Amino acid sequence: MKFELKKKIIQIAILSIVMACTAGVTQRIGHDSDGKEIKRPEPGEGAKQEQIDVLDENGNLVTSVDLYVDERELSKDSVDMYFENAYEEVMNIIPGNNESLDCVREKLYLPDKAQNGIINLEWFSNDYSIINYNGVVNNYDFDEDEKREVTLRLVMSYKEYEDEREITAVVLPPAYTDDEWFVVKAERTIKQAEEENPQADKIILPDIIDNRNMTYKKHIEKTSPYIFIVLGILAATLLVYSGYQKKKKMENNRKRELIYDYSEIVSKFTLLLGAGMTTRMAWNKITADYRKKREAGIISNRCVYDEMLETENNMLAGISEYMAYEQFGKRCSLKEYMKLATLLQTNIKKGTQKLRELLEQEAEEAFEKRKNLARTRGEEATTKMLFPMMIMLMVVMAVIMIPALMQFNV
């Protein structure tokens, strides 16, 4: 590795020395050379920029002059020769992909310069509808045996010198095959039938075109039957997906509602137990109040209270209170309600005397979760309002900007 690095450094050093020596010799030769003669660029090479150092008799630098040296101008005889050569050059390349100018079916090649850019060329046509200034040939409407002559005027120029030549091109119809010609004739005939009587309520299409009997039918886009299978699969997939999303949304809403109501349930239990009620009495009191308010239309259905009503009905049906609380926790399927059910079960089984204190502590934690949930809902609502606010901003900007722009245009 070190050997390779040393080798590259030596190569760079040698190359730098050679370039420095070359530059020094070149500058020395340029400095020693006689600057009285400045060679002009040849025609077509373009002007060049030269910097001349002016020295006195002692070789001291007096000043530096920047010269813009134009290319050498041609004499009248040289210009005439260039015009002839340019004309010959153009005649060789103008047919392009056509056989010759006597058989023009495709675009012609009309250059704007010749003789290596020395001679400028301009083109004019006596019929731009057939051959335009770019050489494009419009012969689609020609009949099969039709031909037309078009005269192209070529203006060659150099400085103040000009020369004009006329070039004749014979335009023929496109080189169609028999089948392609029949297609063209059919299109023209049908178009002619459409233009024949614009006031008529019907268009009578020809029965015979180019000695061929014709029949017609409206074109109908063919649709593959497999597209309907694909669309059916997509529709079924979207239906299943939308159902899944709807179910997921309902589950999320139910979970939020259960978490939101948990602090309220625990608080009610704490108050009622503090008033001397048993867990069963407190449960029945909460469900009775909910039933009255729902029937009166004060509140709507709430998931947790509906689950409590079902639990109460289960106990009335003979299920033990202990088992009813366990089923309540499982149906709610949240750890908060499972914990509440466990506390109630423990109270039944062991008679926990600290149940009220545990519920108070649980109420405080539940209240904090409820505040966090409310804060999260507020942030979500703000996010949802962002898009409508952006639309309103764009509308306001449009109302302000459009009249202002219209005033500028006026």
Can you give the CATH number for the domain in which 171 is found? 2.60.40
- Determine the structural domain holding residue 357 and report its residue range: 241-391
Same domain for 193 and 318?
Answer: no
Task: Name every residue whose Cβ is closer than 8 Å to that of residue 265 and which is 6 or more positions away in sequence.
Answer: 286, 304, 308, 340
Q: Is residue 35 part of a domain?
A: no
Q: Is residue 396 part of a domain?
A: no
What integer pLDDT is reported at residue 47 of this predicted model?
A: 61
Q: Is residue 230 part of a domain?
A: no
What integer pLDDT is reported at residue 109 of this predicted model?
A: 92
Same domain for 171 and 188?
Answer: no
What integer pLDDT is reported at residue 150 of this predicted model?
A: 92
| Tens-place pLDDT, residues 259-269 | 878 888 888 88
Same domain for 141 and 259?
Answer: no
| Boundary of a domain, candidates 175, 192, 226 | 175
Q: Is residue 40 part of a domain?
A: no
Residue 153's beta-bridge partner residues? Answer: 124, 166
Q: Is residue 67 part of a domain?
A: no
Q: Is residue 371 part of a domain?
A: yes
Same domain for 248 and 111?
Answer: no
d(CA 384, CA 382): 5
Same domain for 137 and 202?
Answer: no
What integer pLDDT is reported at residue 166 of this predicted model?
A: 92
Nearest CA-CA partner of 174 in 151, 149, 142: 142
What's the Rg (C-alpha) of the chain? Answer: 49
Same domain for 245 and 363?
Answer: yes
Strands (E), 85-160: 113-114, 119-125, 148-158
| Structural domain count, the chain | 3
Q: Is residue 22 part of a domain?
A: no
What integer pLDDT is reported at residue 156 of this predicted model?
A: 93
Same domain for 265 and 345?
Answer: yes
| Tens-place pLDDT, residues 91-121 | 999 998 898 999 998 899 999 999 888 889 9
Same domain for 338 and 209?
Answer: no
Residues of the chain with pLDDT under 70: 1-3, 5-6, 23-36, 38, 40-48, 51-54, 56, 59, 62, 65-72, 351-353, 373, 377, 381, 408-410
Same domain for 115 and 189?
Answer: no
d(CA 314, CA 244): 31
**E strand or H helix that includes residue 52:** strand 48-55
Find the distance separating the first CA and the last CA of the chain, reported in whole Å: 74
Same domain for 386 and 291?
Answer: yes
Same domain for 274 and 365?
Answer: yes
| Boundary of a domain, candidates 198, 213, 228 | 213
Same domain for 387 and 247?
Answer: yes
Q: Is residue 408 part of a domain?
A: no
What integer pLDDT is reported at residue 32 of this predicted model?
A: 46
Burial classification of residue 89, based on how many CB atoms lie within 10 Å of its CB (0-12 exposed, 13-18 middle, 19 or more buried): middle
